[in-house]
Structure formats: C-alpha cells, structure tokens
C-alpha cells in the first residue's frame, strides 16, 4: 500500500534521510523503530509532505505522492496521527475531533463516525466539551488517534503513541491500535518502545542515522540479539550525548 523507494530528504541543506526503502502491505501493521534523532519523525513528515523529498519516490495506494502538498496527501487517505502534545489545546475535544473530519463533506456519516470514536474512547465522550489542553497525557493520545480516525483513513501513521505515558496506559492505547488495525486500516507505527511495537507489528524496520539498519518480521527481530544491542546501543549513546550537552 505504501512504497518508499530510495528516499532522501531533510531540512534545507541538512540531509537527514539517506536512501530509505520501506514497504507497508495493505491491511498490515509495520513498525519503524529507532532512538531519538535517528530520522523517524523526519521520515513521517516526509511521507506526509511536510518535509520535501529530495530524491527517490513515495507511492501510496497506486499513486505517486512524493511532491504533493500535505493536504492533498491527507485527502488521498493517508493520515498521520500527530504526537500527543500536538492536539489543539485551546479547542474542545469535540472541535479537535471535527477538525480531523475537515476533508470530508458527508456530514451525516461524520456524525456517526464521531459516535463510533466516542464508543472506542468513552472517556472522550465524557470530556467532549472540555478544552483539550486540560486532558491527561493518555486522554490526549486517545484524542489524537480519534482525530486521525475521523478522517476515515485507508492508512494511519502513528508518531510515538507510547511517548511519556504510564505503562498501563500504553497497554490500553496499543490494544486500541490493534482494534483499529482489525477494522482493515493499514498501520505504520513509529516507536521507541521496541517491545510493545514488535508485539503489535508483523514486520519492522530499525532506522539509525537516516538509513534502515535492520528489517525483518517481528518474530525474527524479537529473537535477534543484535537488535537489542544495536537499538539499546543507539539510545544509550544518545542519552549520554544529551547529558553531556
């Protein structure tokens, strides 16, 4: 469904991604793993069109989307769920959700989908008139996922849904993502929480310094000792770097 071929991209003259190849099959769940500053978010932004592709091509649902504007890519059914801190804090929960359905003109179906999202995340119904800036971390994460669903996506890309959440909440969020994938939505999940992501995904890519280091089926990667080493090696090194700076 999503085909990324030899993509290079970055900000201005600074190149972050250096030849990424990635493939997400229709209906599948694929994980993209990596530590801080490895290029995960840049890759998501490149797919969404927020960061321009320098070389290579991205194909979604049979169409080339590299070079298109972000709002056009959303309209083609590829929706990025932003990080949880990127809800609109000054808007109510319901306004945030309705914004997710901005591209749709079928307003009666949108109402029904809003109900469906509320059934999925009952806490959002309770708090629908509340400004989203006052929600807890887990609730905001549910809100941004719900907002992504409101666009009626063919494929969802999730940007670190476990970030800064308590383990129990992470479990709840991941079980919801699993339920979403069961409804036929293709999923690309970007994570630092390797264990959770590999439980959910069928296939995974590990990115480091803007290139894919390792790829393979989730089962292979769970049992691969070099994955643990390379992954933890990366994050420890990064933590050390950030402590020193």
Partner 1 sequence: MDFDFGSLLAFIIFGVTIGVVYGIVALGISLIYSGLDIVHFAHGEIYMFGAFLGLVLSQQIGIPYPGAMIGAMILAALLGMFIERVFYRRLTRSGGGYTVSGMGMIICGFGMSVALMNVAFLIWGADAEPFPVDFGIEPLEINDISIPPSYLLTAVVSLCLMGILNYFLRYTKIGLAVRAVAHNKDIAFLMGINVPLFISLIFGLACALAAAAGVLVGPMQSVQVEMGYLMLMKAFAAAVVGGFGSLPGALIGGILVGIFENLGAAYISASHKDIYAFLLLILVLMYRPAGLFGIVAKVKA
Binding site for partner 1 (CB under 8 A): 11-12, 48-50, 69-71, 74-75, 79-80, 82, 85-86, 88-91, 95, 98-100, 102-103, 133, 147, 151
Quote the Cα angle for 86-232-205, to 5°: 65
In the bound state with partner 1, the residue whose beta carbon lies nearer, of 25 and 111, is 111
In the bound state with partner 1, the residue whose beta carbon lies nearer, of 131 and 214, is 131
Closest distance between partner 1 and the C-beta of residue 211, in Å? 24
Closest distance between partner 1 and the C-beta of residue 106, in Å? 13
Closest distance between partner 1 and the C-beta of residue 82, in Å? 6
Neighbours of 65 (CB within 10 A): 22
Residues 9/51, Cβ–Cβ less than 8 Å: yes
210: left (phi over 0), alpha (psi -120 to 50) or beta: left
In the bound state with partner 1, the residue whose beta carbon lies nearer, of 69 and 241, is 69
Question: Cα(95)–Cα(109) distance, rounded to whole angstroms?
Answer: 16
Token pair for residue 204?
A: 């995974």
Closest distance between partner 1 and the C-beta of residue 159, in Å? 10
Distance from CA of residue 237 to its chain's centroid? 24
In the bound state with partner 1, the residue whose beta carbon lies nearer, of 137 and 216, is 137
Closest distance between partner 1 and the C-beta of residue 79, in Å? 8
In the bound state with partner 1, the residue whose beta carbon lies nearer, of 69 and 219, is 69
Question: Cα(196)–Cα(19) distance, rounded to whole angstroms?
Answer: 27
Within 1-69, residue ranges assigned H as helices are 40-48
Burial of 168: CB neighbours in 10 Å, binned 0-12, 13-18, 19+:
exposed
Closest distance between partner 1 and the C-beta of residue 223, in Å? 36
Neighbours of 134 (CB within 10 A): 12
Q: What is the DSSP letter of 82?
A: P
């Amino acid at each position: 469904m999503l085909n990324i071929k030899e993509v290079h991209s970055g900000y201005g003259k600074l190149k972050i991604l250096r030849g990424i190849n990635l493939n997400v099959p229709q209906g599948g769940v694929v994980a993209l793993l990596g530590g801080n500053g490895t290029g995960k978010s840049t890759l998501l932004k490149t797919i969404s069109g927020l960061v321009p592709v320098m070389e290579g091509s991205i194909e979604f649902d049979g169409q080339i989307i590299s070079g298109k504007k972000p709002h056009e890519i959303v309209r083609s059914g590829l929706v990025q769920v932003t990080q949880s801190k990127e809800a609109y804090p000054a808007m109510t929960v319901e306004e945030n959700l309705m914004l997710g359905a901005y591209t749709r003109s079928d307003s009666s179906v949108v109402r029904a989908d809003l109900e469906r999202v509320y059934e999925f995340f009952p806490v959002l119904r309770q708090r629908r008139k509340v400004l989203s800036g006052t929600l807890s971390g887990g609730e905001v994460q549910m809100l941004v996922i719900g907002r992504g669903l409101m666009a009626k996506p063919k494929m969802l890309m999730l940007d670190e849904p476990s970030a800064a959440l308590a383990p129990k909440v992470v479990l709840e969020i991941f079980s919801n993502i699993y339920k979403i994938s069961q409804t036929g939505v293709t999923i690309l999940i970007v994570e630092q929480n390797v264990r959770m992501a590999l439980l959910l995904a069928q296939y995974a890519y590990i990115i480091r310094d803007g290139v894919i280091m390792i790829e393979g089926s989730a089962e292979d990667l769970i049992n691969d000792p070099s994955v643990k080493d390379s992954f933890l090696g990366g994050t420890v090194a990064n933590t050390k770097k950030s402590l020193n700076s």
